[in-house]
Amino acid sequence: MHVTLPDGKRLDLSEQATGADAAAAIGAGLARAALAIKVDGELRDLSAPLSDGAEISIVTGRDADSLELVRHDCAHVLAAAILELYPGTRISIGPPIEDGFYYDFDFPEGVSISEHDFGAIEAKMAEHIRADEPFVRDDIDVDTALERFREEDQPYKVELIEDLMAAQGVQTVSLYTNGPFTDLCRGPHAPSTKRIKAFKLLSVAGAYWRGDAKRQMLTRIYGTAFLDKAELAAYLERLEQARARDHRKLGRELDLFLFSELSPGSPFWQPNGMAIWNALTELWRSENAGRGYREVRTPILYDVELWKQSGHWDKYRDNMYFTDVEGRQMGLKPMNCPAHIQLYKSARRSYRDLPIRYSEAGLVHRHEPSGTLHGLMRVRHITQDDAHIFCTEEQVQEEVAGCLDFGFFLYETFGFEPRLELSTRPEQRIGSDEMWDRAEAALAGALDAKGLEYEVNPGDGAFYGPKIDLHMTDSIGRSWQLGTVQLDYSMPERFDIGYTGADNADHRPVMIHRALLGSFERFIGILVEHYAGEFPLWLAPVQAIVLPVSDRFAEYGSEVAKALGTAGLRAELDARTESVGRKIRDAELRKVPYMLVVGEREAEQRAVALRRHGEGDVGTLELADAVGRLASEDHKRQ
């Protein structure tokens, strides 16, 4: 038979030839480096027999697929080690993932694993890797497989096979054996364990069987593997650097905010953090005004009747805070929309009034479960950059497009490239299919008109309408939702709001819920990590610091600081009795964008010696020029 290689060349092989034979036929070096083979685009074991006429390519460490392969191998080696060290453990699944792999185990009663055990587990894994144990595939019929796993008391494997049979009518399954360990597995795998050149266990965590909170909690062990040691070292180094820009760490170091046990999930903003907050608010406020939004402010505490009418009581009660006020039950708002509806209702509205756009830096409270709190990224005290647009059905697409424009303007200011998701009608929803057709088409239309790429999440929309979400990733690769644009046909109905149309008849407006930054808390968290605390001038808590060379020049220094302040800059004077070296070091550590050193020469010439954070000495400028330069940079938000 023959196969075709990636360069189009034809390779003749004997009947029954395998991937390994093909690799050997091409070259001995390739045969040694081969990990797997791609047959007509599908990844297979090297030991798999080839079919006549197939297009093949040999997968080596140079291919992108190879990492996934060895990580999957490594997951099997981990399971082998665990079963030896902790007999009686039940195994579930162990896939490769982005940057590594995991395996979920159900340990015997009384056994619990922690990172302290990793040393012993890794040592056992290393034994198996050193032993160069081949991965051997065995295709068997499901009954034999079921019998085997029942005998071995591996109920999770039994369940997996039963599901495969039920869902896909599977008759045979494949098993892979490496050393003493056999696992139900689709494959493929590298030829042997020795191909894992570098690996490390990273963390241990709980994970529900099949991601279902009602089912057994398993112990998940995360690890990673690479094809050489240097890559592993580089990866660990990246993790280390990511930790250094964690907003929780920088928040403490730069005195931006703090958290207290006295109010879990609620940040206390230090003056430095508040400066960032205010700079951001200024941008947000002026842009809102320029785009036809009118800012409002509404209460945070409401009679529960409001939440019953809005539907939050039914759907969201468990996540709300309630209190009694003189015998009346009141609830803190988890969303601003019912409040904005009260504003809308304050007058009879005409089609000529629409769209009405209300914006509010609205403070909402949500009782997020304790285990989900995460610095500024997941808080209970949330300040949304909220807005609600009341418009006619015909205006929807244009308004959504306006929101997206606004959003992208904001994100571009920071050099962000958010990931977009369009979530469509869920199973449980209100409104007619025609309404959903129009709503989804309006959102998709707005996205397409802008030529934006987005992912569709079928069934993930809110019960009252579809939505577009904007996601960003934090320093350790976790994805967070920031902005959202949601169409809502339900609230207007629940609150029975209307407008008089040109036909003098009553019509129902559509509501668009829109948050672009998402929340000030989360957005600032993302900003801190994005800039690693080295904020552009316009966001920096302290924009410039004046450093007199000695006490003798403190007076001129104070004059310089005052000039900066007058120009609208956040400036400080470091009047401590310290060496210049010390003052510079401290300012550098605080990541202050500009340092203005003043001594005898500067005082005489009414000048400053300018230094840029992270770059060093810029040179001497006349005071007025220096102030002008900084003010202009601040103004341009560079």
Partner RNA sequence: GCCGACGUAGCUCAGCUGGUAGAGCACUUCACUCGUAAUGAAGGGGUCGGGGGUUCGAGUCCCCCCGUCGGCUCCA
Catalytic residue among 72, 189, 195, 388: 388
d(CA 152, CA 132): 25
231 counts as binding RNA under rule CB under 7 A? no
* For RNA, the closer CB: 283 or 540: 540
The neighbour count for residue 573, using CB atoms within 10 Å, is 21
Catalytic residue among 185, 337, 391, 403: 337
Q: Is 388 a catalytic residue?
A: yes
Catalytic residue among 220, 378, 513, 522: 513
The distance of closest approach from Cβ of residue 296 to RNA in the complex, given in angstroms and rounded to an integer, is 19
* For RNA, the closer CB: 17 or 512: 512
d(CA 406, CA 412): 10
**Using DSSP, how many helices (H) and how many strands (E) does the chain show?**
20, 33
The distance of closest approach from Cβ of residue 609 to RNA in the complex, given in angstroms and rounded to an integer, is 3
State residue 85 phi and psi, 5-degree precision.
-80, -30
**Separation in Å, CA 160 to CA 41, 44, 83, 143, 545:** 27, 22, 19, 13, 63
Of 123-131, 141-149, 200-208, 438-446, which part binds RNA (CB under 7 A)? Answer: 200-208
d(CA 461, CA 458): 8
Return the ∠ at Cα 519 (arms to 295 and 272), rounded to 5°.
95
* For RNA, the closer CB: 71 or 611: 611
> SS3 string of 508-566?
CCEEEEEEEEEEHHHHHHHHHHHHCCCCCCCCCCCCEEEEECCHHHHHHHHHHHHHHHH
d(CA 18, CA 22): 6
What's the start-to-end Cα distance of the chain, in Å? 64
User: Which position among 8, 87, 169, 581 is part of the footprint of RNA (CB under 7 A)?
Assistant: 581
d(CA 530, CA 539): 13
219 counts as binding RNA under rule CB under 7 A? yes
Q: Sort residue 72 into left (φ over 0), alpha (ψ -120 to 50) or beta.
A: alpha
* For RNA, the closer CB: 112 or 346: 112
User: Which position among 148, 194, 197, 374 is part of the footprint of RNA (CB under 7 A)?
Assistant: 374
Q: Is 337 a catalytic residue?
A: yes
User: Which position among 405, 437, 496, 600 is part of the footprint of RNA (CB under 7 A)?
Assistant: 600
The distance of closest approach from Cβ of residue 251 to RNA in the complex, given in angstroms and rounded to an integer, is 10
* For RNA, the closer CB: 91 or 584: 584
Catalytic residue among 21, 45, 385, 386: 386
582 counts as binding RNA under rule CB under 7 A? yes
638 counts as binding RNA under rule CB under 7 A? no
Residues contacting RNA: total by CB under 7 A? 76
Q: Using CB under 7 A as the criterion, what x/- string covers residues 128-167 for binding RNA?
A: ----------------------------------------
Residues between 533 and 552 that touch RNA (CB under 7 A): 549-552
Chain centroid to CA 293: 29
482 counts as binding RNA under rule CB under 7 A? no
The distance of closest approach from Cβ of residue 584 to RNA in the complex, given in angstroms and rounded to an integer, is 4
User: Which position among 27, 29, 271, 616 is part of the footprint of RNA (CB under 7 A)?
Assistant: 616
User: Which position among 154, 486, 519, 543 is part of the footprint of RNA (CB under 7 A)?
Assistant: 486
Element (H, E) at 167: helix 155-168
Q: Is 366 a catalytic residue?
A: yes
* For RNA, the closer CB: 189 or 429: 429
* For RNA, the closer CB: 73 or 602: 602
Q: Using CB under 7 A as the criterion, what x/- string covers residues 236-265 for binding RNA?
A: ----------x-x---xx-----x-x--xx
At 213, is the secondary structure helix, strand, or coil? coil
* For RNA, the closer CB: 255 or 353: 255
Q: Is 335 exposed, middle or buried (0-12, 13-18, 19+ CB in 10 A)?
A: buried
Q: Is 246 a catalytic residue?
A: no
**Separation in Å, CA 63 to CA 24, 66, 69, 100, 461:** 18, 5, 10, 16, 38
The distance of closest approach from Cβ of residue 566 to RNA in the complex, given in angstroms and rounded to an integer, is 23
Q: Is 437 a catalytic residue?
A: no
At 430, is the secondary structure helix, strand, or coil? coil
d(CA 277, CA 616): 28
Q: Using CB under 7 A as the criterion, what x/- string covers residues 260-279 for binding RNA?
A: -x--xx--------------
Catalytic residue among 44, 195, 467, 570: 467
Q: Is 195 a catalytic residue?
A: no
579 counts as binding RNA under rule CB under 7 A? yes
Of 141-149, 207-215, 282-290, 345-353, which part binds RNA (CB under 7 A)? Answer: 207-215
* For RNA, the closer CB: 46 or 609: 609
d(CA 225, CA 122): 12
Nearest by Cα to 366 from 278, 265, 463, 238? 265
d(CA 81, CA 87): 10
366 counts as binding RNA under rule CB under 7 A? yes
462 counts as binding RNA under rule CB under 7 A? yes
578 counts as binding RNA under rule CB under 7 A? yes
Q: Is 249 a catalytic residue?
A: no
Copy the structure tokens of residue 99. Answer: 């940057």
In contact, 356 and 390? CB cutoff 8 Å? yes
Copy the structure tokens of residue 322. Answer: 């309630």
User: Which position among 335, 387, 422, 526 is part of the footprint of RNA (CB under 7 A)?
Assistant: 335
Residues between 315 and 334 that touch RNA (CB under 7 A): 315-316, 319, 334
At 257, is the secondary structure helix, strand, or coil? strand
The distance of closest approach from Cβ of residue 90 to RNA in the complex, given in angstroms and rounded to an integer, is 14
Residues between 42 and 61 that touch RNA (CB under 7 A): none
The distance of closest approach from Cβ of residue 323 to RNA in the complex, given in angstroms and rounded to an integer, is 17
> Hey, which residues are catalytic here?
337, 366, 384, 386, 388, 467, 513
